[in-house]
């Protein structure tokens, strides 16, 4: 996903202007926001368009081949501004340099500096080295150990009233298909005090919704001393005045316990929303993925969550076309989708990522078959989503307003996470609505993914 982070500007013009593009997930976006905050503190003006910038930065993703392709295409797109525009220096940061290292210089000789996931926070120092001709090499690819905190300069670029908080960095799981641990380093939690202070600061800026992100939020705190857990963090966050919605993203199914379910159920501020990527249901496939091969556990988990939290929104991510996946194993995945009836669902096709165990497995599934299986899952899920959305017609839902237009306004109800889920359109008189505020809404229409409603009252 591409975020063009250019909506801020500075009156100070003695430093070169900068344009920043952020690719990939929300975790990468937070890194981009740290770079942006650092640049603005150093009084670098931020250009609104790439053709206006003397320095262009693209913060890349390389989780799967599709992300690698988008990163490469974006770099090629931005190179043209260096060849025929105002741009003097092009900087590539993030996962792509951390993963591919110095070989990128051959593909992109026009790029001046490559910065990895562990050194992006040095962006001002690196830019100043460029301009004062003190640059020592074009690669900054140190071991990823950096972890931002509440004192870090960061500019929130999410829609009004909403923000991501990265509660941890890296991953210590070893799924056979995933390159993240090599790119981001081992799992390392921020202190609860730092997270609470950041949430408090965001609330003072008018943020109503915080989305907690990490590669696995349920692993939070296990590496701290003394050891704490996600429930403890949530019990402190709900006390932050001004924050109304707290959402958990990227929840490992085997990290969910009764304590976590209990606090989600009991605390009004915690969105009844769980994003639980499971990838597959067949035990042989799960075992080959280096994940716990226990389909019965997963079925029971979803049933128990729905029993304890009847209004919960369940989201998952599935992977089709893993090496050796047979038609029968794929049908087990189809049966899961039909039986559990997830409220939200994303599907990846297996990507042969060099450096992962799965890339060397035999019986690789043809790309055409992967795509066919992906579309089959999405078609079934579309019908489920449409029926679930229609059940909401006539109900009253809380909605956060993201933006207004002459035709009305666009927002999200609490069961719609930013960027990955649908939206809610607000019709009727929207003149009184303010972006970033939460209102009550009556749902009047429902599509496959999006909803429409009319404001009931403000909160």
Q: Which among 296, 298, 297 has a CA at the least distance from the CA of 318? A: 298
Q: Which among 314, 250, 326 has a CA at the least distance from the CA of 288? A: 326
Write b or e for each residue in 156-172: b if 16 or more Cβ atoms lie within 10 A of its Cβ, otherwise e: bbbbbbbbbbbbbbbbe
State whether residue 280 is helix, strand or coil.
Answer: coil
Domain ranges of the chain: 2-140, 162-390, 396-458
Question: Which superfamily, per CATH, for 2-140?
Answer: Methylthiotransferase, N-terminal domain (3.40.50.12160)
pTM over the 0.95 mark: no
Q: How far is CA 217 from CA 64, 256, 273, 274, 277, in A?
A: 21, 10, 13, 11, 12
Distance CA(206)–CA(208), nearest Å, equals 6
Q: Which CATH number fits domain 396-458: 2.40.30.30, 2.40.50.140, 3.30.2130.30, 1.10.1040.10?
A: 2.40.50.140
pLDDT in tens, the chain (459 residues): 555 554 443 343 448 899 999 999 999 999 999 999 999 999 999 999 999 999 999 999 998 889 999 999 999 999 999 888 789 999 999 999 999 999 999 999 999 999 999 999 999 999 988 887 766 668 999 999 999 999 999 999 999 999 999 999 999 999 999 999 999 999 999 999 999 999 999 999 999 999 999 999 999 999 999 999 999 999 999 999 999 999 999 999 999 999 999 999 999 999 999 999 999 999 999 999 999 999 999 999 999 999 999 999 999 999 999 999 999 999 999 999 999 999 999 999 999 988 899 999 999 999 999 999 999 999 999 999 999 999 999 999 999 999 987 778 999 999 999 999 999 999 876 778 899 999 999 999 999 999 999 987 655
CA gyration radius for the chain?
22
Q: Which CATH number fits domain 162-390: 3.40.50.1400, 3.40.50.300, 1.10.10.10, 3.80.30.20?
A: 3.80.30.20
């Amino acid at each position: 996903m591409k975020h063009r982070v250019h909506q801020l500007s500075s009156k100070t013009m003695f430093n070169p202007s900068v344009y920043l593009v952020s690719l990939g997930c929300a975790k990468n976006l937070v890194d981009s926001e740290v770079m942006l905050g650092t640049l603005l503190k150093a009084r670098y003006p931020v250009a609104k368009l790439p053709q206006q910038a003397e320095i262009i930065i693209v913060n890349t993703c390389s989780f799967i081949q599709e992300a690698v392709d988008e990163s490469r295409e974006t770099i090629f797109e931005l190179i043209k501004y260096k060849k025929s525009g105002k741009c003097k220096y092009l900087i590539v940061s993030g996962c792509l340099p951390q993963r591919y290292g110095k070989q990128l210089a051959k593909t992109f000789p026009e790029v001046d500096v490559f910065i990895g996931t562990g050194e992006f926070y040095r962006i001002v120092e690196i830019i100043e080295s460029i301009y004062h001709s003190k640059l020592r090499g074009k690669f900054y690819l140190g071991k990823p150990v950096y972890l931002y905190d509440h004192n870090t300069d960061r500019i929130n670029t999410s829609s009004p009233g909403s923000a991501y908080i990265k509660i941890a960095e890296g991953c210590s799981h070893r799924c056979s298909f995933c390159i993240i641990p090599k790119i981001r380093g081992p799992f390392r939690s921020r202190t609860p005090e730092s997270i609470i202070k950041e949430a408090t600061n965001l609330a003072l800026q008018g943020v109503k919704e915080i989305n907690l992100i990490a590669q696995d939020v349920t692993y939070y705190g296990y590496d701290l001393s003394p050891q704490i857990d996600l429930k403890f963090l949530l019990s402190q966050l709900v006390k932050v005045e001004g924050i109304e919605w707290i959402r958990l993203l990227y929840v490992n199914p085997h990290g969910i316990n009764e304590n976590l379910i209990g606090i989600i159920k009991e605390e009004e501020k915690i969105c009844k929303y769980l994003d639980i990527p499971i990838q597959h249901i067949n035990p042989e496939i799960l075992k080959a993925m280096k994940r716990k091969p226990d389909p019965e556990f997963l079925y029971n988990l979803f049933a128990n969550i729905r029993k304890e939290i009847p209004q919960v929104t369940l989201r998952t991510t599935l992977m089709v076309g893993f090496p050796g996946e047979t038609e029968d194993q794929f049908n087990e995945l189809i049966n899961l989708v039909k039986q559990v009836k997830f409220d939200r669902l994303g599907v990846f096709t297996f990507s042969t990522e060099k450096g992962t165990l799965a890339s060397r497995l035999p019986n690789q599934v043809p790309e055409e078959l992967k795509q066919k299986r992906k579309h089959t899952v999405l078609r079934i899920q579309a019908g489920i989503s449409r029926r679930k959305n229609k059940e909401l017609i006539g109900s009253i839902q809380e909605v956060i307003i993201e933006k207004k237009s002459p035709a009305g306004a666009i927002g999200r109800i609490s069961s719609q996470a930013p960027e990955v889920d649908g939206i809610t359109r607000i019709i009727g008189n929207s003149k009184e609505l303010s972006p970033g505020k939460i209102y009550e809404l009556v749902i009047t229409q429902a599509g496959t993914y999006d909803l429409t409603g009319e404001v009931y009252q403000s909160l």
